[in-house]
């Protein structure tokens, strides 16, 4: 099963990144972002690309500037995730042939992102909008638009979000926090993929 789960490794270090990514991939989570407000994020991303580019989509989160997109393209990253909807960042990402997931909250932001070539929408912060809000957006967005619910989303409410129209999830602190052991991350990843599979197998 292709799971539309993006692991958000905020705060991870370049030293621990490969071991954490390995257990995520083993559990079935093969989209991994390192937010750029983490320590030495580009170093972490490069290490992950070197180790896992054949089996995972590796990229960055909290991408706010075109210059950051250019840096990611130079190290062969595959994915750019942002908390906001910046048309220049989206266009630069697509020009570099990377996946673009801008942050959106309103219908205007959603359509702006799609108009500039976004591959999917990061609904953020999802907990503020809620599944009912997503239902309203889904009613007007193209049916094929991938929407990732991010922020306050976890295994206990996957079914609510999928019922409202989410096609995937970005999972941060309920999967990884700085200082967590590899074993803890493995266990959480397994719980998350099991919950995801249970919802999408219905």
CATH of the domain at 39: 3.20.20.70
Q: Say if residues 101 and 119 touch (Cβ distance below 8 Å).
A: yes
Q: Which residues are annotated as catalytic?
A: 33, 122
Whether residue 14 is predicted with pLDDT greater than 80 in this model: the reply is yes
Q: How many domains does the chain have?
A: 1
pLDDT, one tens digit per residue, over 130-147 is: 999 999 999 999 999 999
Answer whether residue 117 shows pLDDT above 90: yes
CA distances from residue 15 to 18, 42, 137, 176 in whole angstroms, order as listed: 7, 12, 40, 15
Rounded to the nearest integer, the mean pLDDT of the chain is 98
C-alpha dihedral sign at 153, 90, 117, 6: negative
Question: What confidence tens digit (pLDDT) does each residue in 155-184 have?
Answer: 999 999 999 999 999 999 999 999 999 999
Within the chain, where are the H helices?
Answer: 17-27, 41-52, 66-74, 87-95, 107-115, 126-138, 158-164, 182-200
Q: Which domain holds residue 129?
A: 5-200
């Amino acid at each position: 099963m292709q799971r539309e789960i993006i692991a958000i490794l905020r705060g991870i270090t370049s030293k621990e990144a490969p071991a954490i990514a390995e257990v995520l991939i083993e559990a079935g989570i093969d989209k991994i972002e390192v937010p750029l407000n983490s320590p030495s994020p580009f170093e972490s991303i490069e290490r992950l690309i070197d180790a896992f580019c054949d089996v995972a989509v590796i990229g960055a989160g909290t991408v706010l500037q075109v210059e950051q997109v250019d840096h990611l393209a130079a190290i062969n990253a595959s994915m750019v995730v942002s908390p906001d909807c910046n048309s220049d960042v989206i266009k630069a990402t697509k020009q570099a042939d990377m996946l673009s997931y801008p942050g959106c909250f309103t219908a205007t932001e959603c359509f702006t992102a799609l108009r500039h070539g976004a591959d999917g929408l990061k609904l953020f912060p999802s907990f503020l909008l809620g599944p009912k809000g997503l239902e309203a957006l889904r009613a007007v967005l193209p049916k094929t638009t991938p929407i990732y619910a991010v922020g306050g989303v976890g295994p206990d409410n996957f079914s609510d979000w999928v019922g409202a129209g989410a096609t995937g999830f970005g999972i941060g602190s309920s999967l990884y926090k700085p200082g967590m052991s590899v074993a803890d991350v493995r266990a959480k990843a397994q719980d998350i993929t099991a919950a995801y599979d249970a919802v999408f197998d219905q």
